[in-house]
Structure 1
Amino acid sequence: MDKTLAVLKAISDKNRLRILSVLLVHEELCACQITEFLKVAGATASRHLSQMVNAGVLENRKQGRWVYFRLNRDESSLAPLFKWINRKVENTTQVTQDLKALEKILCVPCENLSRKQRNGGHCAKV
């Protein structure tokens, strides 16, 4: 029961649900890309991502300076939840806007996104 509660808590925030929603479409995203489309501080995005990783909703991998996040598709008990969420949010205005913003963000190298974020701004005009 504790694991179920952790998963539900991990997706019960609007920004965390937004992260999950875009990862249903994109196999994986860098932390800087997630930070950019959420339009939040890096520490805030990191806190959201950590909670989702700790609950087992997301997995991460490090590649050089970058940390990439993806849905934990190895956990079979999450598959029905991911399908249900996808049906509920896939055509919402928020997810449509997020995916459109991500199209622009994905064209910017992570190095440039990270540099802009360190200087206190957002890189993509969305």
Structure 2
Amino acid sequence: MSNQEQATECCSPLIHEPITIDRAGDLARMFKALGDPVRLRLLSLVAGHAGGEACVCDISPAFDLSQPTISHHLKVLREAGLLGCERRGTWVYYWVIPAALQQLSSILSAADPTAVMA
């Protein structure tokens, strides 16, 4: 019996069908946006803020970065579809888009919730 046949007998695939080219592109943009530690932390701060949304004035002090740099990182997260925003007076408020996080989560989770990674 070949190694391929043995693997087929003992292990089921993690997904039932591969993602489409378009879907892969969308997900890659999201993962790429999260590939920067500052953006990953920004997303975490917004997601963990009381009420589910945060003013840029609330999250900026957590970084030793200029306001334009923080704005750039927030823009990348928005363009990747991970954050929504709304201007209120002079401030911009941000919130995490739950459906986007669900998309990322679903591609990373195993089809069988009892499956354990080796």
TM-score bucket (shorter structure): 0.5 to 0.7
Q: Distance in 2 between matches of 1:7 and 1:49?
A: 13
Superposed CA RMSD in Å reads 1.9
3-state secondary structure, aligned to 1:33 = helix
Q: Does 1:9 align with 2:6?
A: no
Shift of 1:19: 1.0
Compute the TM-score of the two structures, normalised by the length of structure 2.
Answer: 0.62
Task: Go from structure 1 to structure 2 and tell me whether the alpha carbon gap of 1:50 and 1:44 turns closer, same or farther (over 3 Å shift).
Answer: same
3-state secondary structure, aligned to 2:81 = coil
Structure 1, unmatched stretches of 5+, are 84-126
Map of 2:61 onto structure 1? 36
Task: Go from structure 1 to structure 2 and tell me whether the alpha carbon gap of 1:52 and 1:6 turns closer, same or farther (over 3 Å shift).
Answer: same
Following superposition of structure 1 onto structure 2, how do residues 49-60 of structure 1 map, counting pairs within 5 Å? Answer: 49-60=74-85
Q: Distance in 1 between matches of 2:93 and 2:73?
A: 14
Compute the TM-score of the two structures, normalised by the length of structure 1.
Answer: 0.58
Picking from 48, 64, 79, the partner of 1:25 is 48
Q: Distance in 2 between matches of 1:82 and 1:40?
A: 29
Higher-Rg structure is 2
Q: How many residues were matched structurally?
A: 81
State the 4+ residue runs in structure 1 displaced beyond 6 angstroms: none
Map Cα deviations across residues 37-81 of structure 1 (whole Å, 9 max, x no partner).
1121001000100000000000001111110011012x2x52264
Tell me the percent identity. 32
